[in-house]
Amino acid sequence: MGHIAGPPEWLDAQQRLTGFQEELRSRQLDPRFVEIGDWSAASGHRAARALIEQGVTAIFSGNDQMALGALSAAVSLGMTVPGDLSIVGFDDVPEAAYYQPALTTVRQDLAEAGRRAVALLLGEADVRPAVDPELIERASTGAPPERPRPEC
């Protein structure tokens, strides 16, 4: 599994990269397949091509725009999504449901995050600052492709 990270100087990108690496390590999987993007579809396209060349069969993208670039890269290489490659974005932009295939993505309730931030600024002690993200499953993810077994 690979990750297309956002710019390293962005806190959101750092947190998503850390979460990706920690989750893979907790499952005894290799977290080293990471390419850096700049939040644009073009950078997602470049990063996805590099990850695909390294043999990844799934990509978690730091935002939906880079995931759109990853979808484009897969198609340009003759791959099917999710048959050959699964892709997950982050943000659940309104267009994500209309990508081809529709993009599986992580949604954050930004309005709720804003309400909690204001409540914290106003000194409300019983407010939990973090808002739990929600996975929105659509058509861009599936079971990993079957790999031929090496001859013994």
pLDDT class of 136 with cuts at 50, 70, 90: very high
What does the chain look like in DSSP terms, one character per residue?
-EEEE--TTSHHHHHHHHHHHHHHHHTT-----EEE--SSHHHHHHHHHHHHHTT-SEEEESSHHHHHHHHHHHHHTT--TTTT-EEEEES--GGGGGSSSPPEEEE--HHHHHHHHHHHHTT-TT-------EEE--TT--SPPP-PPPP-
Whether residue 152 is predicted with pLDDT greater than 70 in this model: the reply is no
Model confidence pLDDT, tens digit, residues 91-119: 999 999 999 999 999 999 989 989 988 99
**Residue pointed to by tokens 């492709």:** 145
pLDDT value of residue 19? 95
pLDDT value of residue 127? 85
pLDDT value of residue 126? 86
Model confidence pLDDT, tens digit, residues 2-52: 999 999 999 999 999 999 999 999 999 999 999 999 999 999 999 999 999
The model carries a pTM of 0.90
- The residue length of the chain stands at 152
Q: How far apart are CA 103 and CA 68, in angstroms?
A: 8
